[in-house]
Each structure stands twice: as structure tokens, then as C-alpha cells.
Amino acid sequence: MAAVTASMVKDLREQTGAGMMDCKKALAETDGDMEKALEFLREKGQATAEKKAGRIAAEGLVMTIVEGDNTASIVEVNSETDFVAKNADFQAYVEQVAKQALHTSATDLEGFLAEKWEADTEKTVEEALVAEIAVIGENLKIRRFEKLTEDNGFIASYIHMGGKIGVLVDVETDVVNDDIREMAKNVAMQAAALRPVYTTRDEIGQDFIDKETEILTAAAKNEKPDADDKIINGMVQGRLSKELKDICLVDQVYIKAEDGKQSVQKYIDEVAKANSANVKVKRFVRFETGEGLEKKNEDFAAEVAAQMNG
């Protein structure tokens, strides 16, 4: 058996990013053959990833990147713990995922994971994820991504709470200056804070309107069983209008409105008029880390002890 030297371990560790003891074991198992040791670690990384894949990854990070004003990406990458989400290596990895999304031609997550990894084209995005799981030691998941392009304006981004929430806002405008940019950032902050579902009412399908009308009508009739159709219809329309106002970004009350009444759309129009501009917020994308995912609640000290004993 060939002797495993410290230099060999160092070289293998630099190539793979795996732990020192893992590298030493890989070299010992493969009789010092560097190529076979690389394969050994990749196989071990895969096995480690599969073992960890059953664990809930509901923490993590949202990151945005804007390139030249006109192209932007937003990604959510999940980890198991907030501790890892704050790790510099993990954050660097998420940034690379965001860069990948910026240049992707994929239209869904499956296609994205199958692409060549820009940072190392010998791997796919999925294979790079598996390798990162082996290095970080937690289950990680690229949950979602989106890419926006805007040729007649710009894209604004906003990150809240260090990556807990991220927003992109697509702004079509014939004037781009500091006032318009500030307006776009304020709209992005609005989306982060008040969680709209749609940009405008035009995006809402008739099926949604019909279903909500049905539900609100039944509720109104239960509330006022003796009321005639005119009264019931008035109640339903009023409540439906309020609901749509809450879920449509441009219809929401602007969070910085001095009178407490100005809508986001009126704020946009006000800034546009002051700058002799034609401005339209075409769409937004909002990601919140772990949104809709089950989160585990474990004692961190107990988890460390369990790992040490495992």
C-alpha cells in the first residue's frame, strides 16, 4: 500500500473541499490513487447527500443579482439551520447559484439543475449542489429561481433582513434617474413588507373572482339571512374590492403615504409626473426564505451532541 502523505491529503482537500479526515480515508481506501480518491469522495458525497436529503431544509437565503440594470435573477437556497445560512461559504455558494440563474436558459428547476455549472463546467448544477452538501454537512436545496429582463427601463432589487426576503421589480420607463430609482426601491420594499400576490387586477383570473364571490355571498347570507339580493350584492362587492386591494401591489395603500390613503399606483404616478416620465411597474417577484415549508424545532446543543455521538 502506498504511503499517504500530508501533501497528498492537502492536494485532495484543495480539489474537493472535503474534510481532512475524509480525504485521508479516501486516499487510504484507494491506495493513494488521486483519481480514484476523487471518485471515492464523490461517491461518498452522493451518499451523504442522499442520507441528508430526508431532513427538512427550511432555513437558508434569498439572493438577488442585477446585471446592467436590464437583467436580474433571484434565487432561494435552503439549508437546515439558520447557523449555516449565516456561513460565508454557504453565502458564496448561493451567490454563485444566483449568477447561474442570471445566465440560465432554463425555464424550470429540473432544467436548471441539469445545466452545466458555470463555476466548474465538469459538473452540472445538481452535482455541484451534492458536492456542497458534502462540504457544508447539511441538507441543502435549490428551491426556486427566476430571471427577469427589461429592455425599456430597469429592474430594481431589495433584500430584507439579510436575505430572509428578496424582491425584484420590473419597471418600464422612458426616464431613469435617482427619483425613479428611489420610487422603484420603495415599491420593492412595499412588496417585501405587505406580501401582495399580484401586480395588478389584470393578472387575476375570472375563476378566482367567481370563487371568492361565491364564498363571500354565502358568508353575507349567513350574516344577514333576511337581506334582499341588492344588499347582499353590495356587501359582496365591497368585501371583494377590499380583498383585491390587499392582494394587488399597485392597489395597496402605500406604506409611506403621508395621508395614510395614497395607493401605490398613485405614488408611482406622482413620481412619474414630477419627472415628466411614463412609468409602469410591469411585475414583481418576491421570495421569502422557507415560505410554506415545515420548519423543524430542535435544540441546537442536542443536535451537535447527536452528531458527535453518531
Categorize the per-residue pLDDT at 141 as very low, low, confident or very high, splitting at 50, 70 and 90. very high
Examine the domain organization and report whether 298 and 164 are in the same domain: yes
Q: In terms of pLDDT, which residue wins out, 63 or 2?
A: 63
Residue 233 has pLDDT above 50, yes or no: yes
Examine the domain organization and report whether 13 and 133 are in the same domain: no
Residue 303 has pLDDT above 50, yes or no: no
Examine the domain organization and report whether 188 and 68 are in the same domain: yes
Residue whose cell numbers read 433584500: 159
Examine the domain organization and report whether 15 and 97 are in the same domain: no
Contact indicator for 252, 170 with CB cutoff of 8 Å? no
b vs e for 188-221, b when ≥16 Cβ sit within 10 Å of the residue's Cβ?
bbbbbebebebbbeeeeeeeeeeebeeebbeebe
Examine the domain organization and report whether 22 and 150 are in the same domain: no
Examine the domain organization and report whether 75 and 113 are in the same domain: yes
Examine the domain organization and report whether 17 and 166 are in the same domain: no
Q: What strand order describes the sheet that includes 153-160?
A: 153-160, 165-173, 279-288
Examine the domain organization and report whether 161 and 67 are in the same domain: yes
Q: Alpha-carbon torsion 124, 126, 132, 137, what sign?
A: negative
Residue 151 lies in a domain: yes
Q: Which residues constitute the domain of residue 7?
A: 1-39
The amino acid at residue 100 is Q
Residue 168 lies in a domain: yes
CATH, residue 98: 3.30.479.20
Residue 213 lies in a domain: no
What average pLDDT is seen over the chain?
88
Residue 274 lies in a domain: no
**C-alpha angle with apex 80: 54 to 286, nearest 5 degrees?**
110
Residue 93 lies in a domain: yes
Examine the domain organization and report whether 166 and 293 are in the same domain: yes
Structural domain count, the chain: 2
Examine the domain organization and report whether 66 and 137 are in the same domain: yes
pTM value is 0.76
Quick: pLDDT tens for 19-57: 677 788 888 888 888 888 877 776 665 435 545 555 556
Residue 277 lies in a domain: no
Examine the domain organization and report whether 291 and 160 are in the same domain: yes
Residue 82 has pLDDT above 70, yes or no: yes
pLDDT for 53 equals: 54
**C-alpha angle with apex 227: 224 to 230, nearest 5 degrees?**
125
Residue 263 lies in a domain: no
pLDDT for 147 equals: 98
Residue 52 lies in a domain: no
pLDDT for 118 equals: 96
Q: Pull the grid cell for residue 201.
A: 387586477
Examine the domain organization and report whether 146 and 31 are in the same domain: no
Quick: pLDDT tens for 99-115: 999 999 999 999 999 99
Phi, psi of 282 (to 5 degrees): -80, -40
pLDDT for 29 equals: 87
CATH, residue 23: 1.10.8.10
Share of the chain above pLDDT 90, in %: 65
